[in-house]
Chain A
Amino acid sequence: MSESLRQSLDLSLFWEYRTVLLRGLVFNLYVFLCAASVAITIGLGAALLRINRAWPFRVLGTLHVEIFRNAPDYIMVVWVHFVLPLLLSPILGWRVEFHPFVSAVIALGFVYSGYYAETFRAGIQSIPRGHLEAGRACGMSERLILWRIVMPQVVRKMLPEGLNQLVSLFKATTIVSLIAVPDMMYQVSMVTAQEMRPIPLYTGAALVYFAVVFAVAQAVRLASERWRQSIYA
């Protein structure tokens, strides 16, 4: 067995630093949960704009989707952290500075809101008109129809795709180390700088991310499948 392969499989160094590395992973989870809430909320808002009857709203929604879906998350993170404060400071008249965590959540949340907007829009538009008319005929308000009839079906239909996007988002949280959010990748590079043994550290990080994503995604799929399928014949 070659020396480098042996080294990469020897994860004792990773294990040695497990506390600090896992603390990093917890940070990943924080960023992920906050960014996912932002992405889903803003994404739903943008989707509702895109299907609005009034065209100015539709234009606004489309603009949102195109801007954020086509922006690389890497650049967005850097831009929000370093450029946005420079733009905002003169407008607001005081020195704006974002905590790296806040920048990370804003940047990733908005980028993924672009994807979520499209997923929501497709889901909402796939609901047959008749389901809405049946709601109206029963005296339901448009808001009730959205929350009681449309969204429960949309969530079931978009679950596989939405889950994929959450997986992408979780993996994207590793780039926040760029702006010094102390996530796991950040800790890995810190420890690497000290120990000069990158191979087991990066391998260990890759394995941990894989294990977390695989286990959680699989669990969600298994748990939701029956519930999701109940609407189909």
Chain B
Amino acid sequence: MTPFEEELKQALKREDPGADFTARVLAKCTQADERAEHSFWRVSWLMPAWRVGAVAAGLIVLAGGTAYEHHQHEVKGMAAKRQLLLAMRIAGTKLQEVQERVKESEQVEQ
């Protein structure tokens, strides 16, 4: 090391931040620990409520969806029933017409 580097080393000697530095650091650390602990409990208390809310909302949506689907089923079923009755009525009328024609042609033959 050259004399200049020695001078530099002397110039850059460490300085002490003061006697109370360690106490201040420890106080800060304790505060940080307390804050971390507090936020941990706050989160752990809030979490179930948040989860319950989410589950309840999910159930409501699911129940609503099922009810809607059921209603849609009923509507479709009723429409199908109406169509079937109409078809049967038409078929019945047609059958009656055929029977009448058959009767008429028998009478003509006799």
Task: Report if A and B associate in a common complex.
Answer: no
